[in-house]
Amino acid sequence: MPIRKIVYLSVIWSNLFPFQNFCIAEAAKNCRFTIRPLINGKAVRVDWLELCARMLRLHTGNQGATMRFQAPESLSEQIAQHLGQQIINGTMEPGERIQELKVAGELDVSRGSVREALLILERRHLIQIYPRKGAVVSVLTPELVNNLYDIYVHLLLMLAEKVIENRSAENLKPLMDGVQSLRRRIVASDATTQEVTEKGFDIMCLCYPIVNNPYLEETLENFRPALSRTYYLALEQYRDQAEATDAFFARVFDQINQGSYQEVARLIREFGERQRQTVLQALAKRSKTTTEAIT
């Protein structure tokens, strides 16, 4: 919805909100207000009327409850995810230029929001930003793939070690349920490449509460877009990788249940190396196809 004007306010409303700084924007069409909390310097859209109604219900209906409010993703983050998915699935090709003005017009957002989104994508290694040239989709090279998997495998080993150390029947149950759900979808005939890729990373997310290490979690999440791009490439070219992934999860979580870190580490290293080689083969195959098309 187009915004006509934005008025920045600093408010302390301790009875209803767990944060202090807001900007309130008046919508152009029907004059409903959108409240934008500034969280880490980023404006987050929340519907004013809906939020007030929810806060009032909490305030009057449950005075003793501890209120928790989780803000939605910022506009820049949403734009970054939209563009990032196009890069991951190959809709936007390596070397393709991303024009701020064009993206802003297509999505009906400001150039400032697009610029912030591009900075997010640069941190996630999906684009490169050059002076006077702008943003360009980064090129996957064998060197970058090798560097990525060298680090990623070690991070997975750290994650697995802590899962085994902290495991219990109670905290492993959501993880095992997630693995079973993933395995059912991996072998399903209607499973898409995007679904298989995302569900694989969802399993990693289920490990985070068990490990309880925010630094490791943040590091792995920052690698996720770049890794998703390689997974997508491998699965698109070699569909049998889905079956290999299914077998890996079945074996590795059986060993986690038994508390055998040495065996889990061996499986992770083997799987990581297999993934690396598959991605490198897919890159070489795509490069050959591109060269033949040009000639």
Nearest to 1 by CA among 98, 58, 75: 75
pLDDT average, residue stretch 96-114: 94
Nearest to 274 by CA among 245, 233, 250: 245
Residue 262: what pLDDT?
A: 95
Arithmetic mean of pLDDT over the chain: 77
Confidence of residue 293 (pLDDT cuts 50, 70, 90): low
Residue 119: what pLDDT?
A: 95
How confident is the model over 29-61, as pLDDT tens digits? 333 334 344 444 444 444 444 444 444 444 444
Fold of the 142-294 domain = Four Helix Bundle (Hemerythrin (Met), subunit A) (1.20.120)
* pLDDT surpasses 60 at 250: yes
How confident is the model over 68-77, as pLDDT tens digits? 444 457 899 9
Among 176-180, 262-266, 287-291, the minimum mean pLDDT is found in 287-291
Domain ranges of the chain: 3-61, 75-137, 142-294
* pLDDT surpasses 60 at 9: no
What distances in angstroms separate CA 211 from CA 167, 168, 172, 182, 223, one per listed residue? 9, 12, 11, 21, 18
- 114, burial (CB in 10 Å: exposed 0-12, middle 13-18, buried 19+): buried
* pLDDT surpasses 70 at 153: yes
pLDDT average, residue stretch 217-246: 85
How confident is the model over 187-228, as pLDDT tens digits? 788 888 888 888 888 999 999 999 999 999 999 998 999 999
* pLDDT surpasses 90 at 84: yes
* pLDDT surpasses 90 at 95: yes
Residue 290: what pLDDT?
A: 59
Residue 132: what pLDDT?
A: 84
Residue 135: what pLDDT?
A: 95
Dist. CA 60–CA 14, nearest whole Å: 15
Residue 11: what pLDDT?
A: 30
β-pairing verdict for 97-98 and 46-47: unpaired
Question: Which CATH number does the domain 75-137 belong to among 3.40.50.150, 1.10.10.10, 1.10.390.10, 3.40.50.670?
Answer: 1.10.10.10
* pLDDT surpasses 80 at 280: yes
β-sheet bridge partners, residue 98: 135
Global pTM reads: 0.68
Residue 94: what pLDDT?
A: 92
Which residues, 6 or more positions from 71, have their beta carbon under 8 angstroms from its beta carbon? Answer: 37, 39, 44, 46
Percent of all residues in the chain with a pLDDT value above 90, rounded to a whole number: 51
Residue 292: what pLDDT?
A: 54
65 versus 101: which is more confidently predicted? 101
Residue 173: what pLDDT?
A: 93
